Amino acid sequence: MTTSFDWRLPRGTVIRGKWKRSSYRVERLLGEGANGKVYLVERQRAWYAMKIGADAVDLQSEINVLQAIANAKLVSRSEPYLVEVDDYSGTDGKEYPFYVMRYIRGATLSDFLSKRGMEWFPVAGYSLLVKLSELHAGRWTFGDLKAENVLVSDYGRVELVDYGGVTAFGKSVRQFTEIYDRGYWNAGSRSADAGYDLFSFGVLCIQVYDARRLAALAGSLLPQNRSPEELLKLAQSIPALRPLGDWLAKALRGTFSNVEEAAREWQQWQRRTSGRSSSVVPRWMKGLFVASAALLATTIYWLLRTGA
Amino acid sequence: MKQILLITDGCSNVGVSPVVAAAQAHAEGIAVNVVGVLDQGDLGEFGSAEIEEIARAGGGLSRLAHTRQLSQTVQMLTRKTVVQTIQHAVHRELKQVLGASSIEELPPEKRGEVVRVMDELSETSKLRVALLIDASASMKPKLAAVEEAIRDLALSLQARQGRSEIAVFHFPGSAHGDECLLDLDWTTDVRGVHQFLPRLQMRGTTPTGPAILRVVDHFRAPAPRSYRNPDETDGQMSDYVV
Ligand SMILES: Nc1ncnc2c1ncn2[C@@H]1O[C@H](COP(=O)(O)OP(=O)(O)OP(=O)(O)O)[C@@H](O)[C@H]1O
């Protein structure tokens, strides 16, 4: 689906809020989706992300969720995520609602992993589970969990973006993406609960290792034959995921009782995998060693030369 | 809240105009949504103009969708129309209570409150969706996709907190001159249902208008006790909004 307004704000445009009169300068478009466009903006030398929507009601429900999360003080963080809410009068004479949030410098999970290597996946995954547990503590399900909505900054630190799918436990999930959806895989309801996010997380694990075969599997199965077992079979055929098999089975079959339990078992898997390679010098350390040996050699060479 | 969701791939060719029938539905408080379903190619200019007009007369929305996106389109139209119905009711209240003529006019804090109530109503009010499926010859290869979309919709509706029911009709009906047949009466759960639609070869006519009227009739039929007063939340709107 595309947004129902197709203009794009050029760089340098100044956006002044109708109610609070703050000004923001547009730097560039960060992304767009079903509910609006997200721009990188600047105000008093600080960067923010600004989401401009076409539909006041849709955007407002997202804002309501962000405000509820902020009020519940679930997230132990000094900077707030939601910064300001206001309206902007477009050059077309219409008014567009917007909200300003913290700018998250990072790459989407898939981009991050393909650039930095899959060895970052366990850390990023753990960090994502922690993020989910903060939300779940307030009895919210993230809903539309997928690789594009997970931004990763340095050292595998994870932030979720796109709160359009966030749903209170017990209500119907407001927004989802088929391939990550528990209902689509005949694995349960579309009611918001902890298991809903964990199911999507399970699919996400397969997605980051083999997106192509996951898409092929979804496309080849008859609707009534889609099942968590099919996903597990696919996961078993990916060598790197095999040690995670038990964890994935619990996530996809919905047998974890909450995210904390899932996070604990994830840590156990991390410990097992990191332990396995500890007998040999890891690749990065070897690299470091070669580099420092070379440095040492050059240093000695220069010392000898200048000393002579 | 009451909705008819028409899934078709062509033009009506017998009986009362579907636009007139949709207007009648709208007058009785039923929103009519239309999905024009494509396999390859398109509906032709006349077909897409017709579905748009049916939806406009029926106070609903219309979309063209490929069989691959049918489930998503059906979900999206149903959800949007629920929100729209609530929005209309809220707009009336806004004028009376807050003196604003639209949600956009309200300052952000007030808007937040109103939208919170709207979200609550969208989730909790009772909803009935009658699916009206064009099962004429050209639709035959698309019926599997249609059934999947129905199942998928039922799954989403089941997750709502408010009671949600669907019914399924197809047209043209049997060779005995029925314009439309009921395949599945109001239900909350379709898991036990093997197949919604018959796979028989249908006659060549497409009596879309008469079929819509038949479904409107079905909405009028006295409901079993538990369904009385399906619009009760409309009446309570003013308690929520202020
Ligand atoms: N706070 C942020 N910091 C940096 N980038 C962001 C931020 N919020 C959103 N983005 C970028 O903008 C893109 C679109 O934002 P978002 O997903 O919120 O839009 P949407 O309309 O809800 O999209 P969708 O169709 O996925 O629901 C994101 O994928 C992300 O790349």
**pLDDT tens-digit readout, A116-145:** 999 999 999 999 999 999 999 999 999 999
Min Cα–Cα distance to chain A from B104, Å: 6
pLDDT in the model for residue B172: 87
Q: Which atom of ligand 1 is nearest to the CA of A165?
A: 27
Comparing CA positions, the residue from B238, B131, B140 lying closest to residue B193 is: B131
pLDDT band with cut points at 50, 70 and 90 for residue A7: confident
Chain A interface includes B233 (CB < 8 A): no
Q: Which residues of A touch B155 (CB under 8 A)?
A: 183, 189-190
Min Cα–Cα distance to chain A from B107, Å: 7
Q: Looking at the predicted structure, is the pLDDT value of residue A34 above 50? A: yes
What does the pLDDT look like over A223-254, one tens digit per residue? 999 999 999 999 999 999 999 999 999 999 99
Domains of chain A by start residue, with CATH: 14-102 (3.30.200.20), 107-306 (1.10.510.10)
pLDDT in the model for residue A286: 55
Cα separation, B196 vs B17, in Å, equals: 26
Chain B interface includes A183 (CB < 8 A): yes
The backbone torsions φ and ψ at residue A213, rounded to the nearest 5 degrees and listed phi first, read -75, -30
Q: Is the ipTM of this complex over 0.95?
A: no
CA B17 vs. chain centroid, Å, equals 18
Interface touch A57/B152, C-beta < 8 Å: no
DSSP state of A254: T
Chain B interface includes A59 (CB < 8 A): no
Mean pLDDT of A50-77: 85
Ramachandran area for residue A93 (φ above 0: left; ψ -120 to 50: alpha; else beta): left
pLDDT in the model for residue A300: 62
The pair of structure tokens assigned to A95 is: 């008014």
pLDDT band with cut points at 50, 70 and 90 for residue B229: very low
Min Cα–Cα distance to chain B from A4, Å: 14
Query: B77 with B87: CB under 8 angstroms?
Result: no
Q: Is the beta carbon of A30 within 6 A of some atom in ligand 1? A: yes
Cα separation, B241 vs A29, in Å, equals: 37
Determine how many CB atoms are found less than 10 A away from the CB of residue B110. Answer: 14
Nearest-CA residue for ligand 1 atom 13 is A31
Q: Looking at the predicted structure, is the pLDDT value of residue A194 above 60? A: yes
Nearest-CA residue for ligand 1 atom 18 is A162
> Which residue would you say has higher pLDDT here, B86 or B41?
B86
Of A95, A189, A223, the CB nearest to B104: A95
Query: Tokens 């410990």 appear where?
Result: A271
Predicted TM-score (pTM) of this structure: 0.86
pLDDT in the model for residue B233: 43
Q: Looking at the predicted structure, is the pLDDT value of residue A47 above 90? A: yes
Q: Looking at the predicted structure, is the pLDDT value of residue B43 above 80? A: no
Give the amino acid at B72.
Q
Query: B232 with B158: CB under 8 angstroms?
Result: no
Interface touch A190/B116, C-beta < 8 Å: no
Q: Looking at the predicted structure, is the pLDDT value of residue A279 above 50? A: no
> Which residue would you say has higher pLDDT here, B115 or B42?
B115
CA B237 vs. chain centroid, Å, equals 22
Ramachandran area for residue A54 (φ above 0: left; ψ -120 to 50: alpha; else beta): alpha
Within the 171-200 window of chain B, which residues sit less than 8 Å (CB to CB) from chain A? Answer: none
Interface touch A223/B156, C-beta < 8 Å: no
Chain B interface includes A86 (CB < 8 A): yes
Q: Which atom of ligand 1 is nearest to the CA of A53?
A: 21
Domains of chain B by start residue, with CATH: 2-71+128-237 (3.40.50.410)
Q: Looking at the predicted structure, is the pLDDT value of residue A304 above 80? A: no
Instruction: Measure CA of the first residue to CA of the last residue in chain A; give whole Å.
Output: 73
Q: Looking at the predicted structure, is the pLDDT value of residue A90 above 50? A: yes
Mean pLDDT of A262-266: 97
Interface touch A183/B148, C-beta < 8 Å: no
pLDDT in the model for residue B223: 59
Mean pLDDT of B55-60: 96
Q: Which residues of A touch B91 (CB under 8 A)?
A: none
